[in-house]
Amino acid sequence: MTPDPTQAALRAQELREQLNELAHHYYVLDSPKVSDAEYDALYRELEALELEHPELVTPDSPTQKVGGRILPYIDSVTHDVPMLSLENALTEEEFTAFDTRLRNALGAGGGLFDEFSYFCEPKLDGLAVSLKYLDGSLVQAATRGDGFTGEDVTHTVRTIKPLPLKLRRPFTGIVRGEVFFTKADFIKLNRTREAGGEPTYANPRNTAAGSIRLLDSGIAASRPLSIYLYALVDAPGHGVTTQQDVIAFLRGLGLPVNPRGRLCATAGEVLAFHRELGAQRELYADESEDALPYEIDGLVVKLNDIARWEELGYTAKSPRFMIAFKWQEEQATTRINDVVFQISRQGIYSPVAELEPVALGGVMVRRATLHNQDEITRLGVMIGDEVYIKRGGEVIPKIIGRSPRERDGSERPVVAPDICQYCETAIVLDERAHNPACPNPRCRGRLVGRLAYFASRSVMDIEGMSEKTAERLVAEGLVNNIDDLYRLTPGDLTGLEGFAEVSIDNLLAAIAKSRRQPLWRVITALEIPQVGAQNSKLLAREFGSLAALSEAGAERLQEIHGIGPKMAEAIVSWFADPENQAMLTRLEEAGLTMTAETDSAEAGVFDGKTVVLTGTISFARRDELKDWLEQNGATVSGSVSKKTALVIAGPGAGSKLAQAEKHGVAVWDEARLVAFMQETATRPAQKPDWWPV
């Protein structure tokens, strides 16, 4: 039924306000009020209303975040107030010198009443933007550019999900902040691209900058960008007198701000905070809750008292009342001996630099990724060049640039292969990242990567099947198709280099055991474009067997919430390929699970419940426990809200515990969980190997 126009207008207004409020809770307060499904339902209702009554679309409607505008070019914008840069302090001594300079300049030489404090914020490594709001509506967004003139990026900035298009108050003024990717979102983005056969990105900073400067806002909208605001231009004019209050003011407007900012009363406290963040920066997200969710390259230390900023003034380029207190990057200098091209399971060749071995962060580094042709061009490196490398929070070291040492003429340019090293098919150049790619879907070169993917933890979880093992098996001709794995015998492996008797037994046992992996893992293993673990779980739940999934049409697939037309199309055409059908038959013959388990009487003890895991769980890996909870009907979420049914908190649990208390959510410790698990699952089939005893 079509509501009458006034009713429609009222409902649209109501939906807009409701959706904006929910987005505020989700993105800014980090405390969702409703489930994603409930949000989606309201969103679709608004979308439908607007489709029927286009005159009801307002510029700040949440539906306007999907972008769609494609600009012919990007305008430049002159900043009313220039966007300066920051002076660096690279050591504790340099920071102390900055502190002393301020104390002297402000006459705070030690007098008790002259004390001043600093407000310190993590220095996010992203793209600085300046946002102009008029009566609470975003009217212009600009990049920093050269500090005086930037680029008009209003169309892309509008699509950043956590950024409200309408503020909570009719604010008129300019705010500034940083656009960035969280590490998790960046990894997810690359996974999606990989699954869709698109080249992956080298680093979050450049990708954030590239996404914002796109002409097509629709593409920008599909990138999971984040933003934190940290500056208010003319704070005194808005009645704000300290940096701490700037942050509170911005938060009050409904803008996302970094919750990790901290007021430090003394230089000593700043040093302690700097050390603390420096340590957190080295942690990995899957190991500790204290790990930082984004990349930072320093601490921005700001004199808290804004009234005194003008007293200190500016150098030609930067303010004297703030400093970027960075960390000494662990770096090394070495030489590129050669560049080899490695083929991925998608057939894309990526350049890997073979380095003169050098010690860095306690390990010997022999290789570094060059990622893609664009990265080689950006770095301007040749084989034989002396380069700087760093490890910065990632396992694989990166080349960050050429050393200034002059070339002696013996250097050679990196030349990409023009025929595939494995199947001799002519190489095609991938258009976007200019990576060479082998277009042959049956290329043997891809098999190593596919085998390693098949065996990986999040797919079939075959312990002991490393990339090296996969390489061996393919090189020896023992595996020509994935399913050959299931036909390996001890005799095939005996005598091969790197295969001791114990490891042969263990490997074969692990392969055999993987036959019992659940249906969703088998679906993930098929490498259907765009179908990762999450979607495989959906499909397994929905269809219950590979046979049923294989027969599903695009229309039926799209009925599933979370599966769009593109993915439906990809699934249908995957199953339509006779070669893929042949592989399915072979996998079935190998004894893999082809139907979902339906007979586990206890499945569903967590049906419909949202569970949050936090802290360290000692008896299982987090992903294993998550799988088990999901198999038993739970939705495992990363954040605590009123809707959370249960928080499982191991030692070291942090803010989520406090959130649970706030919302009155039940909290179990490990012992309670173990007791519960032992009560509920009684049959051996329900107990994974890591089952607590």
Residues at the interface with ligand IVH (CB under 6 A): 84-86, 121, 123-124, 128, 144, 178, 230-231, 300, 318-319, 324
Q: What angle do helix axes 183-195 and 204-212 make, rounded to 10 degrees?
A: 80
Q: Which is nearer to ligand IVH, 49 or 124 (CB)?
A: 124
Q: Within a 10 A sphere around the Cβ of 102, how many other Cβ atoms?
A: 20
List, as one string, the DSSP characters of 462-473.
Answer: -TT--HHHHHHH
User: Order of strands across the sheet with 127-134?
Assistant: 137-143, 127-134, 173-180, 226-232
Q: Which is nearer to ligand IVH, 326 or 446 (CB)?
A: 326
**CA separation for the pair 138, 132 (Å, rounded):** 6
Q: Which is nearer to ligand IVH, 122 or 532 (CB)?
A: 122
Phi, psi of 659 (to 5 degrees): -60, -40
Q: Within a 10 A sphere around the Cβ of 587, how many other Cβ atoms?
A: 21
Phi, psi of 453 (to 5 degrees): -65, -45
Q: Which is nearer to ligand IVH, 298 or 436 (CB)?
A: 298
Q: Minimum CB separation from ligand IVH for residue 126, in Å?
A: 7
Residue type, 184: A
> For the chain, what is the largest distance between any 2 Cα atoms, rounded to a whole number of angstroms?
83
Nearest CA to 177 out of 88, 89, 261 is that of 261
Residue found under tokens 């001799």: 424
Q: Which is nearer to ligand IVH, 121 or 194 (CB)?
A: 121
Q: Minimum CB separation from ligand IVH for residue 318, in Å?
A: 6
Q: Which is nearer to ligand IVH, 187 or 324 (CB)?
A: 324
**CA separation for the pair 136, 161 (Å, rounded):** 17
Q: Minimum CB separation from ligand IVH for residue 314, in Å?
A: 9
CB 302 within 8 A of CB 119: yes
Q: Which is nearer to ligand IVH, 88 or 421 (CB)?
A: 88
Strands 398-402 and 428-429: unpaired
Q: Is 123 a catalytic residue?
A: yes
**CA separation for the pair 488, 469 (Å, rounded):** 13
271, with CB counted inside 10 A (0-12, 13-18, 19+), is middle
Q: Which is nearer to ligand IVH, 174 or 510 (CB)?
A: 174
Residue type, 397: P
Task: Name the E strands within 315-433.
Answer: 322-326, 331-343, 349-360, 363-369, 386-390, 398-402, 428-429
CB 316 within 8 A of CB 140: no
Q: Minimum CB separation from ligand IVH for residue 516, in Å?
A: 49
Q: Which token pair is 489?
A: 């015998």
- Helix H segments across 578-654? 578-589, 622-631
Q: Which of 65, 123, 183, 302 is catalytic?
A: 123
Q: Which is nearer to ligand IVH, 178 or 305 (CB)?
A: 178
Q: Minimum CB separation from ligand IVH for residue 123, in Å?
A: 4
Strands 322-326 and 88-89: parallel
Q: State the residue number with the nearest CB to ligand IVH.
A: 128
Q: Which is nearer to ligand IVH, 146 or 497 (CB)?
A: 146
- CA distances to 149, 323, 328, 401 from 90, rounded to whole Å, are 29, 10, 6, 19
CB 651 within 8 A of CB 615: yes
Q: Which token pair is 563?
A: 């599966």
Nearest CA to 92 out of 269, 265, 271 is that of 271
Nearest CA to 174 out of 135, 127, 137, 132 is that of 132
Nearest CA to 170 out of 198, 191, 139, 193 is that of 139
Instruction: List active site positions.
Output: 123
